[in-house]
Amino acid sequence: MPMDIRVGDVLVLKKNHPCGGSRFLVLRVGMDFRLRCQTCGREMMISRVKAEKSIRAVERPDN
């Protein structure tokens, strides 16, 4: 069963980005996630399966 990840959530991943950041903003959700590194601003696409395995925490903005 897929995790409840929404656009606007911040994911803390187990592995750091090459710039050193580990927090990523979710821009798109589907079979792939589009994530933006909170440190350097670079965007990347990652498959849902790979992303869900590497999630350490989900930070949801208060609504």
Tell the residue number behind the tokens 């609504």, with chain if given. Answer: 63
Q: What is the pTM of this model?
A: 0.89
- CA atoms of 42 and 49, how far apart (whole Å): 21
Using one digit for the tens of pLDDT, what is the confidence trace for 2-57?
789 999 999 999 999 999 999 999 999 999 999 999 999 999 999 999 999 999 99
Using one digit for the tens of pLDDT, what is the confidence trace for 23-37?
999 999 999 999 999
Tell me the domains of the chain and their CATH numbers: 10-59 (2.30.30)
Tell the residue number behind the tokens 């090459």, with chain if given. Answer: 18
Residue 33 to residues 13, 45, Cα–Cα distance (Å): 13, 6
Q: Is the pLDDT of residue 63 over 70?
A: no
